[in-house]
A and B are shown apart, each in its own frame.
Chain A
Amino acid sequence: MTVLNIGVVLNKAFVFGAALAILLVVLFFLDISLGSVYVPLSDILKPRGIYGEIIRIIRLPQAVGAVIIGADLAVAGATMQAVFRNPLADPYITGTASGAVLGVLLGMVMLFLFHIKAVIYIEPAFGFAGAMLATLMVIIAGGKNDKMSIILAGISVSVLFSALVMIMDSYVLTISPSFISVIYALFGTLSGLNWNVDTIIATISIPALAYVALSGKRLNLIMMSDEIAQSSGISPGHERLRALAASGVLTAVSLSFTGIIGFVGLITPHMVRLSIGDADNRKVIPLAALLGASVLSFSNFASKMLIHDVAVPITAITSLIGAPVMIYLIRKGRSIGN
């Protein structure tokens, strides 16, 4: 009887979740410990002196930010895949991320040009507006029925917004070469994170994450068919809009302070589905959050460690991990569609 009970409790999702939680804790401590200065574990647990300063001011806020942003991106990806009923959807591919970056940049430049004292909340707000604009353009251009046209529309909108970002970046850097933070928007890095930023990211992310995590059942219905959803009491249009807004918020708030971090939103939900052999969003969304947080924690210390004393953009690391995983998933077939 006991054996049977354990068998029931220890289902794939539970085992995978527990393993991920342990992995995340390990990676979190590695992320604090590793970098241009090595901080031993004993000093992480009892921070004092110069190590204490490094941990308090740099490492810990970055490590905490990596966990939240990783979860945000993964959940945004899982949500978009369900909403668009498309295994290739993620904030990066559907143009949402490029829209967010353009918005953030526009906010930054406006604050700069009009000499407004930086209000840190402005950037995510502009980012959200940009994300929603880009998503809306993709939906209008691509329709919602054809899987390929959504992706192609997403790529087009991405390219368009990236071009605008480049133009704006070159302009700003020419008139003000010291305004280096606009460059961050082009490639992701967590080096801009501090406790103030973390507080904003957490305050905005946690309600959005909670909303999506509690929408698993409704997203399952959206993922099946509009008719099934509606006959089950879920209005597909409203549900899609709310879920897209939530993933827009998650994308915008993450990218506002880090720039574009690709692939996390695309691959983590697939890795979860493949590992637990199930697409139930009630399981996929929380597990993708854990996996996303782990992937970004790993990528963050890898970006510090890859070349000694050089901070490689974190998006380079996530892409180095993401591309082979993606190719593996394509070779494996099913999970990426037909």
Chain B
Amino acid sequence: MATEVRFEGVKLGYVSEVISNATFEAVGPCLFVVLGPNGSGKTTILKSMIKVVKPICGRILIDGRNITEISIGELPDIISYAPADFDDQMWMSALNIIMSAKMNGRWIKKGEALYAMKEMGIDDLAYAKFAELSTGQKRLVVLARAFASKAQIVLLDEPTSGLDMRNKSIVKRHIMKMSKRCTVIAATHDMELARDSDRIIALVGGKAIGAGDPREVLTKVMIKRIYGL
């Protein structure tokens, strides 16, 4: 299912401006990477697509529809979101976290959640407490939740950070697989993931300093500019 996300001159911010004049489009199926160092506004861009941050000016269009016309109730039919991490001080089991996702307008069933975990190779963690998992395991649970929802647009915040080689390759394999059938938008500072993507936008301090095919954008000069080396 091809879905198109388009940012037209979008300015985002909380108290002060975080993103100035972002213009790009992600036409699915694809892997679109928002690349930038910490604090460059990557997460803010993802949050604007789930209406947590509202554009100060400009438009965010999803399949031609302005996001302001899309209700929060409609979001899970279109988008699934995997945050970098979240803090659970209660005793949520990994299975429950995945079962709190929606698919085709209804909550995911236990069997479907277990299947999604098995796909990710983490079915043995189903009844483990999320709070007691390692960073890598948490990441896999959060990703399994996003993938299980079968939404057309999948937003991933730092999907590969804090993972060891093995888990990183599992996660990357799943991201690649997902990007064949939907629009995956990943915010990351992982250069490897950026290189394997279809399109990137490179952010520094809230400004886009390059956009397009990663092979063309990611020159040595550009990488130095992105990471301030």
Interface string of A112-143 (1 = CB under 8 A from B): 00000000000000000000000000000000
Closest to B47 in A: A227
Cα(A334)–Cα(B102), bound, Å: 29
A319 within 8 A of B: no
Closest to A283 in B: B96
Q: A221-B100, A224-B100 are in contact. Are A230 and B88 (CB under 8 A)?
A: no
Cα(A220)–Cα(B127), bound, Å: 16
Closest to B86 in A: A225
Cα(A225)–Cα(B91), bound, Å: 14
Q: How far is the CB of B178 from chain A (nearest CB, A)?
A: 16
Q: From the candidates B51, B72, B86, B97, name the one contacting A234 in the complex (CB within 8 A).
A: B72
Q: How far is the CB of A281 from chain B (nearest CB, A)?
A: 9
Cα(A231)–Cα(B131), bound, Å: 21
Task: Find chain A residues with CB under 8 A from B89 CB.
Answer: 85-87, 147, 337-338
B132 within 8 A of A: yes
Task: Find chain B residues with CB under 8 A from A335 CB.
Answer: 90-91
Q: How far is the CB of B73 from chain A (nearest CB, A)?
A: 5
Cα(A278)–Cα(B94), bound, Å: 10
- Contact count band on B: 20 to 34
Task: Find chain B residues with CB under 8 A from A235 CB.
Answer: 72
Segment with Cβ contacts to A, from B25-33, B77-85, B186-194, B218-226? B77-85
Those of A235-253 within 8 Å (CB) of chain B: 235
Q: How far is the CB of A200 from chain B (nearest CB, A)?
A: 33
- Contact count band on A: 20 to 34
Those of A266-284 within 8 Å (CB) of chain B: 273, 277-280
Those of B29-49 within 8 Å (CB) of chain A: 47
Cα(A228)–Cα(B88), bound, Å: 13
In contact, B72 and A230 (Cβ under 8 angstroms):
yes
Those of B91-113 within 8 Å (CB) of chain A: 91-93, 96-97, 100-102, 107
Q: A226-B52, A231-B75, A334-B132 are in contact. Are A87 and B90 (CB under 8 A)?
A: yes
Cα(A338)–Cα(B72), bound, Å: 33
Q: From the candidates A217, A223, A224, name the one contacting B107 in the complex (CB within 8 A).
A: A217
Cα(A231)–Cα(B47), bound, Å: 9
Task: Find chain A residues with CB under 8 A from B107 CB.
Answer: 217
Cα(A230)–Cα(B51), bound, Å: 8
A62 within 8 A of B: no
Task: Find chain B residues with CB under 8 A from A147 CB.
Answer: 89
In contact, B93 and A227 (Cβ under 8 angstroms):
no
Those of A15-31 within 8 Å (CB) of chain B: none
Cα(A6)–Cα(B130), bound, Å: 27
Cα(A334)–Cα(B132), bound, Å: 9
In contact, B92 and A280 (Cβ under 8 angstroms):
yes
In contact, A278 and B76 (Cβ under 8 angstroms):
no
In contact, A273 and B86 (Cβ under 8 angstroms):
no
Q: A223-B88, A227-B81, A280-B92 are in contact. Are A217 and B100 (CB under 8 A)?
A: yes
B129 within 8 A of A: yes
Q: How far is the CB of B116 from chain A (nearest CB, A)?
A: 15
B201 within 8 A of A: no
B74 within 8 A of A: yes
B50 within 8 A of A: yes
Task: Find chain B residues with CB under 8 A from A226 CB.
Answer: 52
In contact, B131 and A220 (Cβ under 8 angstroms):
no
Q: A279-B96, A280-B96 are in contact. Are A231 and B50 (CB under 8 A)?
A: yes
A232 within 8 A of B: yes
Q: From the candidates A217, A220, A231, A233, name the one contacting B92 in the complex (CB within 8 A).
A: A220
Those of B145-180 within 8 Å (CB) of chain A: 155
Q: A217-B107, A230-B52, A334-B129 are in contact. Are A277 and B76 (CB under 8 A)?
A: no
Cα(A224)–Cα(B131), bound, Å: 11
In contact, A279 and B92 (Cβ under 8 angstroms):
yes
In contact, A278 and B91 (Cβ under 8 angstroms):
yes
Q: How far is the CB of A282 from chain B (nearest CB, A)?
A: 9
Q: How far is the CB of B130 from chain A (nearest CB, A)?
A: 9
Cα(A20)–Cα(B101), bound, Å: 31
In contact, B76 and A231 (Cβ under 8 angstroms):
yes
Cα(A337)–Cα(B73), bound, Å: 31
In contact, B96 and A278 (Cβ under 8 angstroms):
yes
A258 within 8 A of B: no
Q: 9 nearest interchain CB pairs? A: A231-B81, A279-B91, A279-B90, A225-B86, A337-B89, A231-B50, A233-B76, A279-B92, A273-B91
What 6 additional pairs, Cβ within 8 angstroms, besides A85-B89, A231-B155, A232-B75?
Answer: A224-B86, A224-B88, A227-B50, A228-B81, A277-B93, A278-B92
Report 23 cross-chain contacts, Cβ distance below 8 Å, ordered by A residue. Answer: A85-B90, A147-B89, A220-B100, A223-B88, A223-B90, A223-B92, A224-B88, A224-B92, A225-B83, A225-B86, A227-B50, A227-B52, A227-B83, A228-B86, A230-B51, A230-B72, A231-B76, A231-B80, A233-B75, A278-B92, A278-B96, A280-B92, A280-B96
